[in-house]
Chain A
Amino acid sequence: MRIEFSGIAKRFGDHQALKETTLALPDVHAMAIIGPSGGGKTTLLRLIAGLEIPDRGELFIDGERLESGQAALLRHRRSIGTVFQSFNLFPHLSALENIVLPLEKVHGYGRPAARDHAMALLERFQLAPHAGKRPAELSGGQQQRVAIVRAIAIRPRFLLLDEPTSALDPEMTAEVLDVIGELRTEGRDLIMVTHHMGFARSVADHCLFVGDGAILEEGPAEEFFAAPRSEQLRSFLAKILKY
């Protein structure tokens, strides 16, 4: 995927979440966004997801300018899969129905086709036995895996993951990271906000370090971790890798 930020900025009330940012990423397939909490990582991701509109500037994805009209945003969101930190499965629907609903209501599948497609994906990720369960009956890891399946079921151009394991216990973190790694192996493009440096290093081909509302450093994953240029990234990595 090709992503280009041209002077985009976003403010929430008094808080400048993202300062004017310009950056062109001509050819990334898996990008990790790291950085301290409240630094603007999630804002950046939500702008790409079309869930926020920038106050200023332009955003180009695969050469297409992201328009801010409702119809354009709707089209944009339909082409992207988003996974949230808090899963956000629909609690009144079963795992299967969570996946079927958007396929049927948004993406024009007939009910049988939507169910077949959803079931096939659940089977692929060893979730078939849980198809009929409500989210409350699933573990955190299972919920997040269902959420990932729901996001890829709509055949998105790429996947956005916002700290997908932050709300999980360590052993569940592993099962979710495994799924993400697997998606990457099969060539799916993704952008992920994460605190797992090891995982970012092994999966991502490009990394952004975001802090204080700005992209402080970016580069290919190998260099980024092996030879950080900025002082901020060095001290951030030192702190994170200390324990």
Chain B
Amino acid sequence: MSTSESPQSHIDVGDGAAIPTKSDVGLFTAWRIAFVGSIACCIFLAVYKPDPYLAIFKFVPDGILVTFKVTVGAILLAIVLGLFTGLGRISTNRLVNGIASLYVEVIRGIPLLVQIFYIYYALGRFVRIPDLFSAIIAMAVCYGAYMGEVFRAGIQSIPKGQMEAALSLGMSRRQAMRHVILPQSIKVVLPPIGNEFIALLKDSSLVSILAVSDLLRRCREFASESFTYFETYTVIALIYLVITLFFSKLIGIMEERLNAGK
């Protein structure tokens, strides 16, 4: 990962930019074609072939809700974890730095699917917690590590002079971080956090291997009862696509607003 002196520098973390870039303008942008197209497909299928499509669409809303719960819960927890991990990674305290770095290295080296199983069964040995929560915790622990790198890069992208000026005015490091450095980092970390959110939304489908009835699991249940595998997976793909595209646009707009308020 590269960092540079400029506070506006772009940070690239995660599995590629899911947010449409500004240069993507015009009436027929890739985003519009995909978004309108997938919604049109959904409507078309439901109207022209209600059996089984309409039945599938009626069956899945519960799953969408669970997928949202997992995604939102995990991202909020991951942001908190990531903030502390990022601060730990730049800490001069060797113990704190060591723990944060070890966490990032270990997590990044294990596939998410394995982590989900591991945390689910490891937690299960000690405490009985609802499946939904252990799924959220597993996702958050994993994404917290990536988010930690986002925050670290965001903090380090703020010019050194800012910390110096804050110290010279008598602020402690903690005060400088809180009142001077972090508020400026937000603008830098928001786009990569948006990308992580969308990546997490997609990866949340992995929790369907636990007993969590998210979108994917609901559909699998439906498919295995009705033997309409092709149709069901078509619907899942379309629904994920619509949701993901919707959020990527929303985050893109938020980002633009933030830059406009410079």
Contact of A105 among B7, B161, B175, B184 (CB under 8 A): B175
Evaluate contact between B175 and A90: CB separation under 8 angstroms.
no
The range of chain B's interface size is 10 to 19
**Complex: how many Å from CA A82 to CA B171?**
13
Evaluate contact between B184 and A106: CB separation under 8 angstroms.
no
* B161-220, CB < 8 A from A: 161-162, 164-172, 175, 179-180, 183-184
Evaluate contact between A90 and B7: CB separation under 8 angstroms.
no
Any A CB within 8 A of the CB of B125: no
Evaluate contact between B169 and A106: CB separation under 8 angstroms.
yes
- A153: nearest residue on chain B (CB-CB)? B169
Number of interface residues of A (CB under 8 A): 25
Any B CB within 8 A of the CB of A124: no
Measured between C-beta atoms, what is the minimum distance from A52 to chain B in Å?
A: 10
User: Which residues does chain A contribute within 8 Å of B184, judged by CB atoms?
Assistant: 90-92
User: Which residues does chain A contribute within 8 Å of B164, judged by CB atoms?
Assistant: 51, 84, 88
Chain B CB count within 10 A is highest, among A49, A77, A78, A151, for A77
Evaluate contact between B179 and A101: CB separation under 8 angstroms.
yes
Contact A77/B167 with A105-B179, A106-B175 known, Cβ cut-off 8 Å = yes
User: Which residues does chain A contribute within 8 Å of B165, judged by CB atoms?
Assistant: 82, 84, 88-90
Any A CB within 8 A of the CB of B262: yes
Measured between C-beta atoms, what is the minimum distance from A159 to chain B in Å?
A: 11
Evaluate contact between B170 and A91: CB separation under 8 angstroms.
no
Evaluate contact between A74 and B168: CB separation under 8 angstroms.
no
User: Which residues does chain B contribute within 8 Å of A91, judged by CB atoms?
Assistant: 7, 184
Measured between C-beta atoms, what is the minimum distance from A36 to chain B in Å?
A: 23
**Complex: how many Å from CA A152 to CA B35?**
56
- A79: nearest residue on chain B (CB-CB)? B170
Contact A102/B170 with A90-B162, A90-B180, A136-B262 known, Cβ cut-off 8 Å = yes
Evaluate contact between B169 and A51: CB separation under 8 angstroms.
no
Any B CB within 8 A of the CB of A107: yes
Evaluate contact between A102 and B169: CB separation under 8 angstroms.
yes
**Complex: how many Å from CA A138 to CA B7?**
18
Evaluate contact between B170 and A78: CB separation under 8 angstroms.
yes
**Complex: how many Å from CA A49 to CA B168?**
7
**Complex: how many Å from CA A167 to CA B44?**
63
User: Which residues does chain B contribute within 8 Å of A86, judged by CB atoms?
Assistant: 161
Contact of A154 among B7, B162, B169 (CB under 8 A): B169
Contact of A84 among B7, B161, B179, B262 (CB under 8 A): B161
User: Which residues does chain A contribute within 8 Å of B166, judged by CB atoms?
Assistant: 90, 102
User: Which residues does chain B contribute within 8 Å of A150, judged by CB atoms?
Assistant: 169
* A48-96, CB < 8 A from B: 49, 51, 74, 77-78, 80-82, 84, 86, 88-92
User: Which residues does chain A contribute within 8 Å of B183, judged by CB atoms?
Assistant: 92
- B262: nearest residue on chain A (CB-CB)? A136
Contact of A102 among B7, B171, B262 (CB under 8 A): B171
User: Which residues does chain A contribute within 8 Å of B262, judged by CB atoms?
Assistant: 134, 136
**Complex: how many Å from CA A106 to CA B174?**
12
Measured between C-beta atoms, what is the minimum distance from A185 to chain B in Å?
A: 24
User: Which residues does chain B contribute within 8 Å of A90, judged by CB atoms?
Assistant: 162, 165-166, 180, 184
Evaluate contact between A51 and B7: CB separation under 8 angstroms.
no
- A49: nearest residue on chain B (CB-CB)? B168
- B7: nearest residue on chain A (CB-CB)? A91
Contact A105/B168 with A88-B161, A92-B183, A136-B262 known, Cβ cut-off 8 Å = no
Measured between C-beta atoms, what is the minimum distance from B20 to chain A in Å?
A: 26
**Complex: how many Å from CA A123 to CA B170?**
24
Evaluate contact between A77 and B169: CB separation under 8 angstroms.
yes
**Complex: how many Å from CA A89 to CA B167?**
13
Measured between C-beta atoms, what is the minimum distance from B262 to chain A in Å?
A: 7
Measured between C-beta atoms, what is the minimum distance from B259 to chain A in Å?
A: 12
Measured between C-beta atoms, what is the minimum distance from A112 to chain B in Å?
A: 19
**Complex: how many Å from CA A106 to CA B166?**
10
User: Which residues does chain B contribute within 8 Å of A89, judged by CB atoms?
Assistant: 165
- B165: nearest residue on chain A (CB-CB)? A88
- B171: nearest residue on chain A (CB-CB)? A106
Contact of A51 among B162, B167, B179, B180 (CB under 8 A): B167
- A89: nearest residue on chain B (CB-CB)? B165
Evaluate contact between A74 and B162: CB separation under 8 angstroms.
no
13 CB < 8 A contacts A-B: A51-B164, A51-B167, A78-B169, A86-B161, A89-B165, A90-B165, A91-B184, A101-B169, A105-B171, A107-B170, A134-B262, A136-B262, A154-B170
List of 4 A-B pairs having minimum Cβ-Cβ separation, nearest first: A78-B170, A88-B165, A82-B168, A102-B169
Given contacts A77-B167, A105-B175, 5 further A-B contacts (CB under 8 A): A51-B164, A74-B170, A77-B168, A102-B169, A151-B169
